[in-house]
Structures are given as structure tokens and as C-alpha cells.
Structure 1
């Protein structure tokens, strides 16, 4: 029975009982209804008070470096367990994404918009600056790693319509595996890794590590960790709890990726005076060089990436005294190998796709598409301006997909 029907029935009952020639000055039916409404309001207010107390209790137990409570299914770095009940998600506008001409064969993050390789435009609200992003398989959205903030880095799960939810907050550094199914992060002296399933972190493992150690990438399930930013040395953390074993490698300066056979492609500092040359590293021998011969000296710093088939390395270096992105043929790696200029110096993420091309942003904010066949005939790539970017912004090339 509805509220109005209940009121009519009460009034009719009082009317039959009074049988008066005119309605009394006071309305007994209205008084009963008003009393019932007052009781209902008091009960509702009491229930809301209990909910408010519960929310305050959850929020107090889930405080983090920021001003807002942590979102649902998030892990606040430094807390022993996730807090599953305090919900906070950022929802995209109800309007559907626009469709435009694709800018590239890979997804791009342009400010607060994701431009997909299919030509869609997805607005991502509330996530702030995005430094790296990974597209999940089967159209399930993206994982986005935020730029550093006073509260640390954030890992966001972004749905296909742009709704964003925090999975991880307060980290010094965050890295994902190539499938977007594992994450590793560092906070202070804690190194941690977990799986990602159904928008949640699972199976978290923690280890004690030097404060200057930084996770760089996943290598066949292990996490590659640089021991210090200002000196050579890396170690593969096998995701075991307890103190981090620093290993014996003290010569590798940069590591760019892995070959299909598991060997890593990196730089090692050798000789007197010490010089950095390109080499293959053996993950089963504490990253010792896999062969006696060193490859070319690159002379640069910053990012680099190995193609999916393990044939090519795209890396920052120097050619004839000028900084540039270089293409190295890993099939003939040795002292006689000659890197070829591929384009302007890279910044941010370098992404190879299955078509044998690579994308990156140059230091001026342009988008560069590297075609191996063109580089081999000495035709370096040129940057292209990306429409829709604000001054000072650069496109972020999205991995995965």
C-alpha cells in the first residue's frame, strides 16, 4: 500500500468513528499521520547517523598522504592490508566518446583524453597527469601510472568509458608487466609486487630494499631492480619476502629489455678508463655479460626498448657527437655493429607494435613513428605535432593492446 493510500484509509476510519456533522477543529487523522511521519523521520535520521559513524571509522583507519580517503579495492602503500569498504571512484561524463581519425597505430594519452588506435576519444577525469599507460586486452580499459605528486604515484584502473579508480596510492615508483597483469612498486625501504585481477591487487609480496633501489621492469615474472640511480648495478628480484639479495652485478648501467631466449639487452661499464658498451646479459648468472665481446658504445642516457621479436633495439645515444634516437640490429651485435640514426631524442615510453614499427615522444612534444625499413635506408623519422595538446604537454604512448 502506498503512503497516499494509507493516509486516505486512516482518514476514512476516523471519519466513520466520529460521525460528526462537521469536522472537528483538530484533525485526529492528520495528527496520527504526522506522528507516524515524525517516527519515520527519526528512524531514518538514526540510520543515517549510524552510517555516518561507520564511514568516519573506515576513513579514519584508511588515512593516507592525500586529503581524500582511499578508493575501493585500493592498496595504500605502507598500510598492512587494503581497505575494501571506503569507496571513491571518478566517473566520466555520461556522453559517449567522440570518434575521430586515428592519430597512430597505438593508443595515446593526450592530457586528460585517451585517443585510441580505433579513433575513439575517451575522457579520463580526476586521474591527473599520466606518465605511463597500458591497454588491457579484450577492450577492458587501461592501467595508468600517474606523475609524481606530494602524495606519491597512483596506479589507476580506467574503464572503456573513462571511469577511473585507484588501485595503488603513495608509491615512489610503479612498474607493470607487458600484459598488465602484475605490478611492482617501491615506497621508502619497501619493495612490493602483486597480481592484478578483476580490478584488485592479489598475492602481494614485500621485501626490504635499500632506499635508493628502484624497480624498472618485469623480466619473466621477476622484477628488475636498479640498486642505485647514480652507480652501475642491477638485480632480479624473484618476488620472495625478506631482505632483497643485491646480487653481484656492479657493471650494468642500463637495461632495455629481453630477447626471446631470456637474455637481457643492456649496457655494461668495462675497461680502464671505464666505458659503457652494449651487451647481452645472462639472467641466470647475476646479469653477467653473456659473451666476451662488447657491442657499440651508445654514449647516451634515458629510455630504450627491444622489439617484440628481439631483433631491434631503439635507444637514446649519440651519433657524430649529436644526441639522437638510435636503431641497433641485435642480430649482428658486436664491436663492428653500427647504430643508425632513427630520429630525434626520445622521452617517456617507447612502444613497439606487432607491425615492426615503434612510437615515442621526442623532447619537444612531437610524436615520432619509426619504421625499421626506412631507417635501414638512412631515412630517419621526423616528429609530427599532435593536435589537442596544451603548450608544454607531450603525448604518452600507451603500451599493450
Structure 2
């Protein structure tokens, strides 16, 4: 051994036992320290690699359908999907039911329906937020996060603002450069389900079963069939608005054939394109802003803010040729949002107004501490059976 040889060499040069300042011992000790440091460095590297692999498997496992791949999306790795809490988190104090039926947001502050107050951190100015099963999905200009009920949050996507959440709040479609990703949302982050190449000038607006509906601006809307990834979306310029998903199709607006008006329509994927299967209500003067009210959770009613009132439109009856419209007097700067299948909520600086499709309305006071610039938070849930 090297150590024995060194000792024999030094022992041959002296007649007395090694003194406290033993040259051989010094060399040997230095060698042992160096080996221990190298061994410790190797263990740390192996441990770090194991943690990353384990974290990735835990947060990204469980693809859907089973034969599709799971893994981190392009543009961000396992670290950005890890459990990250921004700022101190204090357990929210339980409050009482506000009677509004929806959460309220003002700036980065969130008032929940049960009276709690949470902070939306990590994205700068909040631009969008949805209540989903198990928490909230919210975003700034270039980051999407998932907020848990305890106030902690985790990054979902961090490089682009082109994204959409499914109507049941379970999936996220987001586009990075020319790659469209679909992932399942969970408290630990994203479980990537599929990725497909799309044109750069598109962005996702809705998720319907195995299809992601994409917008191309003035070029209209198309869809990406995840089961046929080689097929590029064929956009239909006659489709001008998508309000939401209903059953195996969509509800939106299409250009009147031979005219200039917009007509309410049930839209289905046919022959690789989105096509109106039924249309009507061309004279209702519906506007193209899908965010101004939108579709009820079951797809039966459509809400549209019109000056000092909110119009509630029965989609089925309008498509059958009738004029079925209920108005709710509610002058407000707050866009209406559906609380359930038959109740839409809006309001003004002083109070909240709940309008029902039977024509009745109810005023509810704002929770204490909510400033004037408040907005309602849409709730995304799975539809009831049979809808």
C-alpha cells in the first residue's frame, strides 16, 4: 500500500520513532482528507441527481391517455415545476360564506366565497385567474401559477402568455414558440400529457376532449386533434368567436352567410375544420368579446353585458329560431360571471348583483375590505351528469 511504503521510506532515514511533526503522517493525513472530500463531493452529486429524478417522477407522472408521454414541457425543467412557495405563508383564517357564490379579486388579493383572504404572489400584476378543483390558476404577463388553499403556490408555466384552462379546470393548454402542450393540473404542478407542433401565429382558447381549439386572429378558429398530431389546424375565418364548450361541440359566433351580421351557432369539428352545425339569432346584435359574460357551465345560457343591463340568452331556443332573452338591470364596470348554470353575477362599487335566468335578481353586499377595482373569479368545474 502507498501508506506503508511511505512509512517505510521515512523510517529508514531515522533511528527514532516519528515525532509529533511526522512528515509521513502529514502526507498520509493530507491524502486521506483529499480522498474524503472527493468521496463527499461524489455523494452530494449522486444525491442531487437522485432528488431531481425523484421529484420529476413524482410531479410529472401519470400521463393521459395512458399511451401518451409524460415529462417536463420544453422551455422549463423539473426545478420550475417543483413545490415553490413565494413569500411567507400563514394559514388562512376561516371566515363566513359571503353569499356571492364566486370569489372576488382585487389586484393581488383574493377574497374567497367562505370569507378567507389570500395573496396571489409570484407573477407581478395579475391578469387572469380561475377557480379550479383544488385551488386557483392565475397568471401575470409571462407566468402561470397554481395557488393552493393554504396560500402556497407552484409554477405551472413560465415563458409565454398563450394558455387556456379546460372548462372543468383539470387541464392546461399552453403554447411555447411553435409547440402546443397539454397537461393535467395538480397541487404539485403539471403532468404533461401531449405536445404537438402548431403555427407560430396561433394560441389555444379552449380544450374539448382530445381537441384543442386555437385562434388565429383574423384568420378565424381551428382545432388541433391530439390523436392526429401530423395534421395542422385548418382555421375557418367564418368562425369569429368561441364562447365555450358544450357537450362534444362548441358555442360561438359565425358570420352570417351572405351578410355581415354575427350569428349564434353550435359549432362542431367536421372534415378537419370547425363548422356551424346550427345557427340563429343573427339579429340579436351579439358582440365578439367572449370574455364579457360568456357561456353558463352547462352551455345552455349565454350572458352579455349591455350598458346598464346584462342580457341572458337561451342558446337552445335562439338556435331553434326563437327570440329568448332575459334582461337584468345591473349597471356595472364588472364583467358578468356565471356562479352556476342559472345564475350570473355582476355588480358595482357598492354591492354585488346576482341575476337569474327566471328574471329575478338579488343584491349582496361586498365583503369588508374589498376596494373599488374588484373583479369576479370564474369557477371551472365538471358539468353535471347528462349535460
The alignment's TM-score, normalised by the length of structure 2, stands at 0.68
Could you tell me which of 313, 327, 334 is aligned with 1:341? 327
Could you tell me which of 270, 280, 287 is aligned with 2:274? 287
Shift of 1:254: 0.9
Could you tell me which of 166, 171, 179 is aligned with 2:160? 171
Could you tell me which of 89, 96, 99 is aligned with 2:91? 96
CA distance in 1, matches of 2:278, 2:175: 32
Could you tell me which of 146, 158, 161 is aligned with 1:157? 146
Shift of 1:171: 1.8
Could you tell me which of 135, 146, 149 is aligned with 1:142? 135
Q: Say which SS state the counterpart of residue 282 (structure 1) adopts.
A: strand
* Pair 368,47 (structure 1): closer, same or farther in 2 beyond 3 Å: farther
Shift of 1:244: 5.4
1:133 corresponds to: 130
Kept in 1: contact 2:208–2:245 (CA 8 A): yes
What aligned pairs does 1:77-92 form with structure 2 within 5 A after superposition? Answer: 78-79=74-75, 82-84=77-79, 89-90=84-85
1:350 corresponds to: 337
Could you tell me which of 266, 270, 273 is aligned with 2:252? 266
Gaps of 5+ in 2: 1-28, 53-57, 61-70, 383-387
Whether 1:196 aligns to 2:181 is: no
Shift of 1:369: 2.4
2:381 corresponds to: 400
Whether 1:388 aligns to 2:373 is: no
Per-residue displacement from partner, 1:32-52 (whole Å, max 9, x unpaired)? xxxx9xx99xx8999699969
* Pair 99,153 (structure 1): closer, same or farther in 2 beyond 3 Å: same
Whether 1:116 aligns to 2:112 is: yes
Shift of 1:326: 1.8
Shift of 1:161: 1.0
Shift of 1:185: 0.6
Kept in 2: contact 1:208–1:244 (CA 8 A): no
Per-residue displacement from partner, 1:4-43 (whole Å, max 9, x unpaired)? xxxxxxxxxxxxxxxxxxxxxxxxxxxxxxxx9xx99xx8
* Pair 394,200 (structure 1): closer, same or farther in 2 beyond 3 Å: closer
Could you tell me which of 280, 283, 287 is aligned with 1:300? 287
* Pair 359,45 (structure 1): closer, same or farther in 2 beyond 3 Å: farther
CA distance in 2, matches of 1:349, 1:45: 64
Per-residue displacement from partner, 1:198-227 (whole Å, max 9, x unpaired)? 624234422222333121111234211112
2:8 corresponds to: none
1:359 corresponds to: 345
* Pair 338,307 (structure 1): closer, same or farther in 2 beyond 3 Å: same
Whether 1:212 aligns to 2:201 is: yes
CA distance in 1, matches of 2:88, 2:266: 48
Shift of 1:328: 0.4
Could you tell me which of 345, 348, 358 is aligned with 1:373? 358
Gaps of 5+ in 1: 1-35, 60-71
When the two chains are superposed, the root-mean-square deviation of aligned CA atoms in Å is 4.2
2:240 corresponds to: 253
1:278 corresponds to: 264
Kept in 2: contact 1:195–1:201 (CA 8 A): yes
Kept in 2: contact 1:73–1:82 (CA 8 A): no
Alignment length, in residue pairs? 329
Shift of 1:188: 2.8
> Which of 1 and 2 has higher RCO (CA within 8 Å, sep 6+)?
2
Shift of 1:162: 0.6
